[in-house]
Homo-oligomer: A and B are copies of this chain.
Amino acid sequence: MSEATVSRVLNGVGPVKEDTRKRVMEAAQQLNYVPSALAQRFALRKSGNLGVILPFLPKVNLFSTYYFSEVLSGIGITAKQRGYDLLLLFREPDEPKDYVNLFRTQKVDGCIILGAQDVPSERAVLDELQQGQYPFCLINQRFDGKTFNTVDADHRMGSFEAVKHLANQGCKRILFLNGPSVYSNSLDRLEGYRQGLAEMKLPYDSSMVLVGNYSRKSGYNLSEAIAWLIKEGRIDAVIAANDRMAIGLLQGLRELGLQVGKDVALMGCDDSDGARLTDPPLSSIQVPFYEVGCMAASNLLDVIAESEHRSFEIKLPVKVVVRASSAAENFSEA
């Protein structure tokens, strides 16, 4: 037997006759070293790790962000129940995306990607993964025209129902504070907002759509502009694409002497812990992030276990939660 063959067996690379594989593994065993799970993994090509690719944001404690903390929790519990450990892979936006290498070097058996953006470099590397048949799944992001595995929530329906709720409260001039358009959920929410306006026979005006970056600060920074619009009578309600921006806006408006729930109706999205604790408590859209994490992990682990190349595209429902920030009896002009 050649060195090359032994090497191929032990590295799990290239074609090897089953009989040959056995002989090499037995010889290796006879050396009486620790039954290296590493060598076994070579044979099985399994690392026992489920990779989670996350954006690296040094200034933000990602774990304390409701969204990431809920999704990670769902992934972690599901992975653990299936005997997998979680490999957290923090990646900076401009860092070269080494996703394929994670598989080739057997660091992971599958990968869940959080915070993917619809930009050319991301599309390119996901195409690479798809072509190499490496098991992966996107969360909260889709790529039109592609058949990548995704688990998402029905963001479109969320803002659709939010507009309907506010209109039923008497609001007629509803501003939408969205997130960046590199995220498909931002596009979905915008579509739901437009459809909701049409449903309630309210006009759509593109100047009534502002864009933050999902951070609390970005909501806060827009409070002056929005306060002016409120005082001018140009808007009577705001839907923010997440709670953090809504909370930042609420703080800013309060500092400028305006009261959410009285001078303007406000709704956020995510229904995070913070939404219950603001003054007034914040109406929001409940998004099942934990379940999204569970579904992503369990479906991906099924694909890995079955060595199938099936693809899955899952969308979970959302729910409007009404609190005092949008429940005042009448927001329409006297």
Contacts and interface: CB of A to CB of B under 8 A. Distances in A.
B63 A73 contact: yes
A64 B56 CA distance: 18
Q: Is the interface of A mostly helix, strand, loop or mixed?
A: helix
A96 interface: no
Chain copies in complex: 2
A34 interface: yes
Interface string A64-81: 101011101100110010
Given A61-B69, A70-B61, A89-B85, A7 B4 contact: no
Interface in A1-24: 1, 3-4, 6-8, 10-11, 13-14, 24
Nearest to A72: B63
B61 A107 contact: no
A58 B76 CA distance: 9
A34 B13 contact: yes
B42 A27 contact: no
A181 B33 CA distance: 41
A52 B42 CA distance: 24
A308 interface: no
A90 B105 CA distance: 23
